[in-house]
Structure 1
Amino acid sequence: MKVILASSSVRRQKLLYRIIDDFDVIVSNFDESLVEFEGDCAYYVMELAQKKAASVEKYLNNKANDRNIIVGCDTIVSFKNKILGKPGDEEEAFDMLKLLSGNVHKVYSGITLIDTLNHKIKKDFVCTDVKFSTLSDSDIVKYIKKGECLDKAGAYGIQGYGGLFVEEIHGCYYNVVGLPLNKLSKMFRSMGVNL
């Protein structure tokens, strides 16, 4: 049996190495814009995760006797039920961080596991509340200049310098980084895979 991560995220790969010694990475080619957000963040991230995993399963076109467990994952930041994706530029990053300043936002991760041998699918999600301190404009500009915000949902990374903005977190820290390890481990066990 082989575990396959359907993600190009270096952060997810590093987290997965904490619980699995050996896995492959096959980047999903699924176009995320095909899934429309209709107001339910949990459903939305689970759909994205499932579509990513399914596109890798289709790519593999496995023979019946090959067993792979494909891990699909997607993470979003939500503030007042509005999704804050990866900022397109520094101005958008500034606006996002200004919005999060002094407020509580939610980070959702959807996870899907697909067993390619029997096509069994497990999907679930995790939600974490994150409270930001009040940020000055200069704090935000200084952070943006560090260059770690443009490739991250919500324009910050809790595992980097952006962690300085986080006053409180209620829920799974690893979810905020991008891969909730506790939930993932339980999902593997529910498929008969002991890590």
Structure 2
Amino acid sequence: MKIVLASASLRRQELLRQMGCAFEVLPSTVQEDNTLKLPTDELVVAHAKAKAMDVAGRSLDGTLVIGADTLVVLNGQVFGKPRSQIEAKDMLNALSGQEHKVVTGLAVIQCSSGHSWTDFSITQVKFGHLSQEEIDRYVASGEPMDKAGAYGIQEKGALFVESIHGCYFNVVGLPIYKLAKILKKAGVFLP
């Protein structure tokens, strides 16, 4: 069965390879709308499903399409990817010394039947206190600009993380345990 990842995220691609999954990449053109008045878990699932459906509409029968969306939530405020260095600094200042949630939605669509499976994962992440100098240096590195919440736990952003409770891979952007369970339901059994 052919599997397509509806994301250009190198981190998600790396995690799928780690799972032993053979796949192709066909990025979705869907733009996330974080202003929708939905609970965060429903919002990320809606985004993931919209991305998967977009790509499924361009794929052949017999294909499974994987969509995912990750957001950071602090006290009810949703942080997507920063649109500027100023926004990245604002996000990191807000997260400094705080515990926040990382929420990832998953959607898998079987093109031949239109059947879909969805799930989400939530991980609690606690940041240590960050100095303005640390934030400025990190933002100047460019690393936070394509990441929800303006940090990557698998890169230099790990220096800010005091603790996590939940799935580490969810914070990277793809909760692989939950994805493997969905793929199994769709008939894909990974090693």
Partner in structure 2 of residue 117 of structure 1: 112
The 5 Å alignment of 1:1-195 reads 1-33=1-33, 36-60=35-59, 62=60, 66-195=61-190
By how many angstroms is 1:31 displaced?
Answer: 2.7
Post-superposition CA distance 1:29-59 (Å, at most 9, x none): 12323x7421400000000000000011112
Deviations 1:89-147 (A, max 9, x none): 11111111010000000000000011112211100100000000011111111211221
Once the two structures are overlaid, the 10-residue window that deviates more, 151-160 or 16-25, is 16-25
Alignment identity in percent?
A: 44
Q: 1:152 to 1:23 in 2, by over 3 A?
A: same
Counterparts of 2:169 and 2:39, CA distance in 1: 22
The amino acid across from 2:51 in the alignment is K
| Other structure's SS at 2:18 match | coil
Question: Residue 106 of structure 2 aligns to a residue in which SS?
Answer: strand
Shift of 1:192: 2.3
CA contact (8 A) 1:39 1:81 kept: no
Amino acid at match of 1:38: K
Counterpart of 2:50, as a letter, is: K
**TM-score of the pair, normalised by structure 2:** 0.95
What SS does the corresponding residue of 1:7 show, helix, strand or coil?
coil
Which consecutive unaligned segments of at least 5 residues does structure 1 have? none
SS state at 2:67 partner: strand
Q: 2:29 and 2:132 mapped to 1: Cα distance?
A: 37
Q: State whether residues 70 and 80 of structure 2, in contact with CA within 8 Å, keep that contact through their aligned partners in structure 1.
A: no
Shift, 1:19, TM fit: 1.2
**What is the CA–CA distance in structure 2 between the aligned matches of 1:52 and 1:128, rounded to whole Å?**
22
Amino acid at match of 1:77: V
Q: Distance in 2 between matches of 1:88 and 1:117?
A: 37
Q: In structure 2, list runs of 5 or more residues that go unmatched.
A: none
Q: Distance in 2 between matches of 1:147 and 1:48?
A: 25
TM-score normalised by the chain length of structure 1: 0.93
Worse-matched range after superposition: 21-30 or 96-105 = 21-30
CA distance in 1, matches of 2:142, 2:187: 41
